Chain A
């Protein structure tokens, strides 16, 4: 069975600084998708970024980028120029190809200090 692990329950970053959230996963499959979701206090799950396993190039979305290391089964999220609005719970998630359902990590609560 696939598993997703986020080893950092809490992280803190100064406004305008950079922070990296860690995620590792375990799977025997070669084709899959990885995601980072953000959940602010409003409870709404918001997709931050997605990575297809077959792509070597790391995904980037504005201030958000990932470091995808397929051999190491590592998928970290880097947030540059952190803003107060980035404060939220961040979940790493895995989905196998043609699978549909998501498997989530435990989450990392990010706080941003002004």
Chain B
């Protein structure tokens, strides 16, 4: 299994600002994903982070709001831009070492926007 370090674990931010969340994996992985979990809700995929190219976004999520970087096979960042209280959620990084293997998750970032 992969060991995933996600930072920060939590943050309280002012509306209109941006926060960058980091996801570091202890081994090279093929696939990296970013999920959002709104309060009391299930997980929804934001995007697939592609190494060396633009992320693939799901319907309802756009690059201007959630820019994602993935410079190599062990690291990715998600930025939540121009935040509003509606962005208050848990954001989770997930990785799979190969296409059809298990997905492992970071410990999540609890974001509160005030």
Chain A residues in contact with chain B, CB under 8 A?
Answer: 33, 35, 37, 42-47, 50, 91, 95, 97-107
Cβ–Cβ < 8 Å partners of B15 in chain A: none
Q: Which residues of chain B are near A105, meaning CB under 8 Å?
A: 42
Would you call A106 and B42 a contact (CB within 8 A)?
Answer: yes
Contact B102 A43 (CB under 8 A): no
Q: A101's closest neighbor in chain B, by CB?
A: B45
Interface residues of B in 88-114 (CB under 8 A from A): 90, 92, 94, 96, 99-100, 102-105, 107-108, 110
Q: Are A101 and B102 in contact (CB-based, < 8 A)?
A: no
Residue pair B100, A33 in contact (C-beta under 8 Å)? yes
Chain B residue with the shortest CB-CB distance to A45: B105
User: B interface vs A, CB < 8 Å?
Assistant: 31, 33, 41-45, 48, 90, 92, 94, 96, 99-100, 102-105, 107-108, 110
Question: With the chains together, A65 CA to B112 CA distance in Å?
Answer: 37
- B99 contact from A37, A42, A46, A98, Cβ within 8 A: A98
**Known A91-B43, A101-B48; further 5 A-B contacts with Cβ < 8 A:** A45-B92, A45-B105, A50-B102, A97-B100, A104-B43
Which residues in B have their C-beta under 8 angstroms from that of A91? 42-43
Q: Are A44 and B42 touching (Cβ within 8 A)?
A: no
Hey, which chain A residues are within 8 Å of B33, CB to CB? 100-102
Picked from A47, A98, A104, the residue with its CB within 8 Å of the CB of B102 is A47
Question: Shortest CB–CB separation between residue B91 and chain A, in angstroms?
Answer: 10
Q: Which residue of A lies closest to B99 (CB)?
A: A98
Q: How far is the CB of A92 from chain B (nearest CB, A)?
A: 10
Chain A neighbourhood of B31, CB < 8 A: 100
Cα distance A105–B42 in the bound complex, in angstroms: 7
A44 CA / B106 CA spacing, docked (Å) = 7
